[in-house]
Amino acid sequence: MIRQLPIRQRIRKGIVLVSFLSFPLTMNFLSPYVIVDGAAHGIINGSLIMFGLMFLSALVLGRAWCGWVCPGAGMQEILEPVNIRPVSKNVDWIKWAIWIPWVTLIAWLAMRAGGYSRVDFLYLTETGVSVDAPVKYIIYYGVVLIFVGLAAFAGRRAGCHTICWMAPFMMIGRWIRNRFGWASLRLVADSSACSDCKLCNKHCSMSLNVSAMALAGNMENAECILCGACVDHCAKKVIRYSFSGSK
Ligand code: SF4
Ligand code: SF4
Ligand code: SF4
């Protein structure tokens, strides 16, 4: 028997699937290359603006972008029927090993260009469509193949854990949020209601030990993307969304 997904999870999966299908339009605004090229020419471009917005969104919405909007989510979640194996948390550092030199390069190029001197949201996307030339098709299929391949062979959302250049912007944002403890979107758990059935672990998009988090009454985890699968699959209603500050 095929178990039906909770309605909220069906909506979420529908949104990230549409986002993935729209990726030929949006790719350049999430590109690790366009921001580098823009820095070298002193141009604030679509990617820089989008990554800045991701950082700002994390100050109030945590990593909800990752759970609810990102095309990378859609392209990996469609592989879940093929490989739902959890990804080890031992590989989470890899994205930082990519992100730190990349951001350093962007800062260095921008300084060499004498700083940012103009804003062009459509920089390198003059037609408004990201994939509009043969070479861009190659880049598009390359990016999709890497994410899909990782999800298929390494496990659930393996690309999010390892190679994503966007996640650290949001992780830094939610870290700052937690330092100040201001009100924002997060998960809270009533540990006394938890039966330790571990169903939430099975459904967690990021392969987290959610039952341990719920039992400890601490749902804060830098890899949590607020997808809500643990909220929606828990029969005991232990976990819920909350817009609140941290203690
Ligand atoms: S970790 Fe990266 S690829 Fe995964 S959902 Fe977040 S931004 Fe998208
Ligand atoms: S699904 Fe609910 S009851 Fe079961 S371990 Fe997770 S939080 Fe506890
Ligand atoms: S802990 Fe819950 S909200 Fe966070 S990634 Fe796992 S299933 Fe999604």
- Lining ligand 1 with CB less than 6 A are 66, 70, 72-73, 159-160, 164, 166-167
Q: What is the mean pLDDT of residues 82-108?
A: 96
User: Which residue bears the tokens 């948390």?
Assistant: 89
Ligand 3 in reach of 230 Cβ (< 6 A):
yes
Residue 54 has pLDDT above 70, yes or no: yes
Identity at 64, one-letter amino acid code: A
Question: Looking at residue 7, what is its pLDDT?
Answer: 96
CATH topology of domain 182-244: Alpha-Beta Plaits (3.30.70)
Residue 23 has pLDDT above 60, yes or no: yes
Tell me how far apart the alpha carbons of residues 81 and 22 are, in angstroms, rounded to a whole number: 22
Other beta carbons less than 10 A from residue 194's beta carbon:
22
Question: Looking at residue 1, what is its pLDDT?
Answer: 43
Ligand 2, atom 3, lies closest to the CA of 194
Rounded distance from Cα 206 to ligand 3 centre (Å): 7
Question: Looking at residue 246, what is its pLDDT?
Answer: 81
Q: Where in the chain is the domain with CATH 3.30.70.20?
A: 182-244
Ligand 3 in reach of 208 Cβ (< 6 A):
yes
Residue 106 has pLDDT above 80, yes or no: yes
Identity at 188, one-letter amino acid code: V
Q: What is the mean pLDDT of residues 137-161?
A: 97
| Ligand with the closest atom to the CA of 208 | 3
Per the prediction, the chain carries an average pLDDT of 96
pLDDT band at 4; cut points 50, 70, 90: confident
Tell me how far apart the alpha carbons of residues 125 and 133 are, in angstroms, rounded to a whole number: 11
